[in-house]
Amino acid sequence: MARLFIGGPSFYSICYTDMRKIIIYILITGFLLFLCTVTTRAQGVSDSSASLKIAAAKGGFDYRVENLREFLEKYNSPLAVYAEEFVTYADLNGLDYRLVPSISGVESTFGKRIPADSYNAYGWANGEYSFTSWEDSIAHVSKTLRIAYIDRGAASIAKIAKRYAPPSVTWAGKVTFFVKKIDFLPLDFDII
């Protein structure tokens, strides 16, 4: 093959260099498009979560209830039949639906190890407090977490732990573990 000019690069080496630039450009563009798609999917998860809440409020199916019920049944929890109450009171108080059940997992193995007839699956008042029913306990703990913790600046599990379970250094990690086991998808709440 003839050279373009004497002592200069061949036609093939020029094409090879240009082709490498084109391939790199295509790879970078493809990667950037992929990142945009991932961001859009994450927003879709958040939007679909909000849609599920709206559908549930209108009497539609809420996957969170069934997801939580199935999770609690795996642990033979007496709280499994109250999955709908956990979700309802979480929504009423602007909480992640996984938070209160996760606390019960840490404090009482999801309600299995509690003082007799106390319905206190949350270690409330160091286990000395008695509620009148499971629903009463879910409502009370959810509302108090909102008013006395989150509204006063403890807006993450780590910050809640400093007030809820001092001086434990493992409580937040254990609650976070159960939150992620209940549902690994990110929701509208940034509690972790």
| Tens-place pLDDT, residues 3-22 | 555 555 555 555 566 777 77
Q: Could you tell me if 191 and 155 are in contact, meaning their C-beta atoms sit under 8 angstroms apart? A: yes
174 token code pair: 């254990």
Q: Count Cα neighbours of 153 within 13 Å in the Cβ-side half-sphere.
A: 2
> Do 131 and 44 reside in the same domain of the chain?
no
Q: How far apart are CA 8 and CA 154, in angstroms?
A: 69
Q: What is the DSSP letter of 145?
A: I
Q: For residue range 149-173, what is the model confidence (pLDDT) as tens digits?
A: 999 999 999 999 999 999 899 999 9
Cα four-point dihedral sign 183, 188, 191, 192: positive
> Do 95 and 50 reside in the same domain of the chain?
no
Q: Model pTM? A: 0.69
- Domain coverage including residue 156: 62-182
Is there a domain that residue 22 lies in?
yes
Question: Domain holding 78: CATH number?
Answer: 1.10.530.10
> Peptide bond before 167: cis, by omega within 30 degrees of 0?
yes
Is there a domain that residue 187 lies in?
no
Number of domains in the chain: 2
- Domain-terminating residue out of 61, 86, 104: 61
> Do 22 and 32 reside in the same domain of the chain?
yes
